Amino acid sequence: MDRPAAARPFGGYHVDPGGEADHELTQVGPRTPAGEYFRRFWHPVALASDLTTRPLRIRILGEDLVLFRRPDGEIGLLHLHCLHRRASLEWGRIEDQGLRCCYHGWLYGIDGRLLETPLEPPTSKLRERLCLGAYPTKERWGLIFAYMGPPDEMPEFPVYDSLCIEGDVLAPYPHKYPCNWLQVAENSMDHDHVVYLHTPKDGDPQFYASWGIAPTIVYQRFDYGIHYTYSRRVADKIWMGMEDIYLPNFTQAGCVFTMDGGKPKYFGRNAFTRWVVPLDDTNTTVFMLAHFNDRADPFRAEYLEEANLQKLESGTTQDRPYEERQRDPGDFETIVGLGPVNLHSREHLSATDRGVSMFRRMVRKAVRALADGTPPVQHTAAGVRPIPTNGGDNVLDIPARASCDDRELVIEVSQRVLDIYRDSESLTGEARDSLVIERLKALEAEYAIS
């Protein structure tokens, strides 16, 4: 085949040095299409433990903001700059009614109302005329969430069943990436990398040796996102991880460090809940909740240290000597190594990128639909509370059969498991648990070799 000059050996000179990012998906500032789309959802913006008696300066979706907790516990999220002469309110003082600018003392309520202008004449109408930009917040699970979209379009705050498990110990922590949100989020749709990056053939596995077995992946798509399974044949068992991807940036997955596919497990729950939050176009914080409970990972006190939590989730910590990072790179090295914003026009997507392409297509469709006037579908739409989710693991005792291709068998079983989860979505709590577990065991019995 006659290759173009740039695709020939030693053809570096001919390679076009340019390249473009996928701006439609990567730009999240105010009034950009993807920025508008992101603003239609609730997102975590800080850890509750970051709030002290002083204001906290943050940046979310390209906006500079200040977050503070009033003495009565109410939380305010305001535009960073004072309406008067634009002093930064990070230097302000928290008072009973709100946040007071340090420069001339203008006082703002948590809803942005201008409550006092102490140096102005008593007849001043400034308080009636002005209001600082503010956003509604909610505090849950050790995180502060905000909604930054049009007030009339504010969706219901989503509460997922995975966040209502009795006895669950939750550990919130941030995972910071100096790069665009898309390359962080789509790593969750690129399950195949686990086989290579996290389970090197010439080194210790970052998780478990079974991660090195090539997975069989089955996707189910919905208007709010994707459920997918990643399954591995481990002796006579099928070890099946379940991942939830809810657009645009929410993911949940199974355990990474207590599972090796050995012991049967039915409807294990997720070990991590993640929101991939763009701070701006080149900085992202993944707000993480690690779960420790009998159906996810067991609790050990040392896990609560942030470095250990990072390691549990991505196999390595971010803060390591350069040489060690070269010897044993992890998610952080690969994702940040793509550059501040990946040059998507220079990628060569391949068979393992089916999930990445699917995710981009779905986000693009939703971004364009919103630009044309159709708001995104929220995962609250079905009406069941708390919202049923799937993230977790199953280990099913379903041996391979001499009479059929094992990959085909695993695909068939994965589809049936996804259907079992789907069919149980009108139920919650123990009712859903028992139905799913009962049907998983029945499935196992159906495939038993007598």
Task: Catalog residues that contact ligand FES under the rule CB under 6 A.
Answer: 82, 84-85, 87, 101, 103-106
Residue 106 binds: one of ligand FES, Fe ion, none (C-beta under 5 to 8 A by kind)? ligand FES
Please give the Cα distance from 440 to 421 (Å, whole number). 9
Strand partners of residue 283: 280
Torsion of CA 91, 94, 99, 104, to 10 degrees: -60
Q: How far is CA 187 from the centre of its chain?
A: 10
Residue 84 binds: one of ligand FES, Fe ion, none (C-beta under 5 to 8 A by kind)? ligand FES
Structure tokens at 139: 């505090």
Residue 93 binds: one of ligand FES, Fe ion, none (C-beta under 5 to 8 A by kind)? none
CA atoms within 13 A on the CB side of 27: 10
Residue 103 CB, nearest distance to ligand FES (Å)?
4
Residue 57 binds: one of ligand FES, Fe ion, none (C-beta under 5 to 8 A by kind)? none
By beta-carbon proximity to ligand FES, the closer residue of 60 and 82 is: 82
Residue 331 CB, nearest distance to Fe ion (Å)?
4
By beta-carbon proximity to ligand FES, the closer residue of 48 and 102 is: 102
Please give the Cα distance from 271 to 170 (Å, whole number). 10
Residue 331 binds: one of Fe ion, ligand FES, none (C-beta under 5 to 8 A by kind)? Fe ion
By beta-carbon proximity to Fe ion, the closer residue of 88 and 334 is: 334
Structure tokens at 291: 């779960």
Residue 74 CB, nearest distance to ligand FES (Å)?
21
By beta-carbon proximity to ligand FES, the closer residue of 35 and 109 is: 109
Neighbours of 415 (CB within 10 A): 13
Residue 40 CB, nearest distance to Fe ion (Å)?
28
Residue 395 CB, nearest distance to Fe ion (Å)?
21
Residue 290 binds: one of Fe ion, ligand FES, none (C-beta under 5 to 8 A by kind)? none
Residue 204 CB, nearest distance to Fe ion (Å)?
15
Residue 186 CB, nearest distance to Fe ion (Å)?
11
What is the C-alpha radius of gyration for the chain, rounded to an integer number of angstroms? 24
Residue 76 CB, nearest distance to ligand FES (Å)?
15
Residue 151 CB, nearest distance to ligand FES (Å)?
25
Residue 28 binds: one of Fe ion, ligand FES, none (C-beta under 5 to 8 A by kind)? none
By beta-carbon proximity to ligand FES, the closer residue of 50 and 120 is: 120
Q: How far is CA 441 from the centre of its chain?
A: 31
By beta-carbon proximity to ligand FES, the closer residue of 89 and 413 is: 89
By beta-carbon proximity to ligand FES, the closer residue of 78 and 367 is: 78
Residue 129 identity (one-letter amino acid):
R
Structure tokens at 21: 């990012």
Task: Give the long-range contacts of residues 128-131, CB within 8 A, separation 24 or more.
Answer: 130/83
By beta-carbon proximity to Fe ion, the closer residue of 195 and 400 is: 195
Closest CA to 192 of 252, 247, 232, 225: 232
By beta-carbon proximity to ligand FES, the closer residue of 87 and 115 is: 87
Residue nearest to Fe ion (CB): 331
Residue 70 binds: one of ligand FES, Fe ion, none (C-beta under 5 to 8 A by kind)? none
Neighbours of 323 (CB within 10 A): 8
Residue 281 binds: one of Fe ion, ligand FES, none (C-beta under 5 to 8 A by kind)? none
Residue 104 binds: one of ligand FES, Fe ion, none (C-beta under 5 to 8 A by kind)? ligand FES
Binding region for Fe ion (CB under 5 A): 331
By beta-carbon proximity to ligand FES, the closer residue of 115 and 370 is: 115
Residue 328 CB, nearest distance to Fe ion (Å)?
13
